[in-house]
Amino acid sequence: MGLNTALGTSISGLRNAQVGIGVVSQNVANAGTPGYVRRTISNVDSISGSTVGVSNPNVQRLLDRIVQHQLLQESSGAAYTSTRAQVFANLDKLYGAPGSATALDSMYSKFTSSLQALQNDPSSYTNRTAVLDAASLLANRLRGLSDGVQQQRAQAEAGIGAAVTRTNELLEQLTDVNARIVNAQQSSGTADLRDQRDRIISELSQYVEIRTDERPNGSVSIATASGTQLFDGRPTVKFEFDARANIGPQSQWSADPAQRSVGTIVARDLSGNSFDAIANNTFRSGEIGALIELRDKTLVQAQKQLDEIAAQLSSALSDREIAGTAVTAGAATGFDVDLNGLQAGNSVTLDYKVTPGGQTQRFTFVRVDSAASLPLPASAQGDANNRVIGIDFSGGPASVAAQMQAAVGPGFTVSNTGSVLRIVDDGAAGTRDVVGLTARPTQTSLTGGTGELPFFVDGRSNAAYTGSYEGGAQSVGFASRIAVNPDLIADRSRLVIYNTSPATPQGDTTRPNFLYDRLTSSQRSFTNSTGFDGSTATSTGTVSSLVQRVVAGQGQASEQAKRLDEGQQVAFASVQSRFLEDTKVNVDEEMSTLIELQSAYAANARVISTVKELLDVLMRL
């Protein structure tokens, strides 16, 4: 090995140290740049001919691929939970601060206490006004809450639109960066491009839960967690979102485009084929997934709970309970009840026991006025102990009895005399015992000899709420339309006077007592659409308890969303911290590398100078 070899090696060492110092300076300069991944150089010994050198200093990005994949996953999870937590927190705020005058439950309590005051002094104008004021405030609150829920849905709709647009943009940007990485694969300049690509992918992961896969040529392919290919050198799908402007309680997503009244995401592939990404469940997590879930499930559920409160509040005050009169037909016993006055949506309940000594079970027959309204929507269905059956009344009383007979099966005999329905058990056979038959027609006028009155009306028609299923369930979005009967506001004496001839005395407590009892002590069946605690069974309770359960349930859900988000953020932070540990620039480390490189440079220079001295000595010989 001659001096020349030493000289050559030293020169390559110098070059190497220069590159190293360059990388150190780049690392130090970019120490604060987000998404910057620390670079290192790897040296390769090269022997070309007789020269042994340090050549091809290769600048490499230092990162852990597994941690990076985890980070992408956690970041979409974090976007999902934080979006949900945010909306839940907003929703929870709508329900008001605990114990404050604006909280839904306080307003409800105020309404019941005003009725309580009215009981004590029914003739007082002040008390009557107080009842109507409290009722109006409560109705307003329900409408306000309902509007709030729908606003959140509209925001979710807009959010989906923005997120979809951004996703498309990111995929486009990725195409360009990705192509340049593939082209520059052999040169050392890809590190910056890779940083940029990672930044784009990481933003994409906030919207969609993705998996990335790097090809040998440096190109990246991206698929959603659900398996839809998004990108492979170029975007393989383009998302389209047809945002709708007016989102209301009736606006629902459906796989059937004719029934859909909110936007859906259509994914269109390169060959122009398209599929509904929401129906395909493409977005399970990430911001888009969260927004879709909020818009189509969570907030819809919140609206249903409000609707249930509004519907129960209305029906409790307006539905008469007409108990059947006992009859015997031979050995069979049962009841007669007059179905006259039953309106669309009103129900007749048949309580029976499977003898001997069985539990009381119930059939609920709901009036509908056309066969088109059958079968009843899923939200109206009952459970094993309370089967809810729609009965088409358009065919007259005989047809009604026939439909009921078909529904209850043998063991009962259903017959009619005009509008009077008779249901008796099977007498001597003793397999069924009819214990009650009750019709619940809605009182539609303010007077008429009973305590019931249409206190609240459906703002759409200013008519009493009957829970009709004609042309869509009346209960849907009722919370956004509930209003105090304007006729009652115009003549508030109707809060007390239930009969005009003979006129009810102004101080009569019958009606105030009735209204108060119906709200605070009458047991009512709630439809399964309220879905408390994930249960789908119908449940019973007072209207007061329903209000409390809804508010508590909402608080519970909100708290749960918050906890979930907190947990997810911790997980995200820890993965992020692990990722940073690998990728972030440690200036101290860089400085020590610098010292190292500096000494290496000095040493190499020293070798060159030594070689020079040796050569000089040689020359002087």
Sign of CA dihedral 100, 105, 110, 111: positive
d(CA 365, CA 242): 40
Among 9, 106, 416, 475, binds other proteins (CB under 8 A): 106
Give the footprint of other proteins on residues 552-611 (CB under 8 A): 552, 554-556, 558-559, 562, 569, 573, 576-577, 580-581, 584-588, 591-592, 595
| Residue 126 touching other proteins (CB under 8 A) | yes
Nearer to other proteins, 237 or 546 (CB): 546
Taking the complex as a whole, how short is the minimal distance between the CB of residue 165 and other proteins, in angstroms?
28
| Residue 93 touching other proteins (CB under 8 A) | yes
Among all chains, which residue has been given the structure tokens 């539609």? 444
Taking the complex as a whole, how short is the minimal distance between the CB of residue 583 and other proteins, in angstroms?
8
Contacts of 432 (CB under 8 A, 6+ apart): 352, 353, 354, 355, 411, 412, 425, 426
Among all chains, which residue has been given the structure tokens 């389209």? 240
- Side chain identity at 304, as an amino acid letter? K
d(CA 384, CA 377): 17
Nearer to other proteins, 256 or 588 (CB): 588
Contacts with other proteins, 17-56, as mask; x by CB under 8 A:
--------------xx------------------------
Alpha carbons within 13 A on the beta-carbon side of 252 = 15
| Residue 120 touching other proteins (CB under 8 A) | yes
Taking the complex as a whole, how short is the minimal distance between the CB of residue 308 and other proteins, in angstroms?
17
Taking the complex as a whole, how short is the minimal distance between the CB of residue 497 and other proteins, in angstroms?
11
Among 97, 323, 329, 614, binds other proteins (CB under 8 A): 97
Q: SS3 string of 93-132?
A: HHCCCCCCCCCHHHHHHHHHHHHHHHHHCCCCHHHHHHHH
Query: How many residues touch other proteins (CB under 8 A)?
Result: 59
Nearer to other proteins, 98 or 189 (CB): 98
Among 385, 505, 613, 616, binds other proteins (CB under 8 A): 505
d(CA 59, CA 195): 13
CB of 480 within 8 A of CB of 489?
no
Alpha carbons within 13 A on the beta-carbon side of 323 = 5
Query: Is the preceding peptide bond at 502 cis, omega within 30 degrees of 0?
Result: yes
Q: Extract the tokens encoding 594.
A: 């610098």
Among 3, 67, 89, 374, binds other proteins (CB under 8 A): 89
Contacts with other proteins, 521-550, as mask; x by CB under 8 A:
x----------------------x---x--
Taking the complex as a whole, how short is the minimal distance between the CB of residue 558 and other proteins, in angstroms?
4
Q: Extract the tokens encoding 508.
A: 């009569």
Q: Which residues bind other proteins (CB under 8 A)?
A: 31-32, 88-89, 92-93, 95, 97-99, 103, 105-106, 109-110, 112-113, 116-117, 119-126, 505-509, 516, 520-521, 544, 548, 551-552, 554-556, 558-559, 562, 569, 573, 576-577, 580-581, 584-588, 591-592, 595
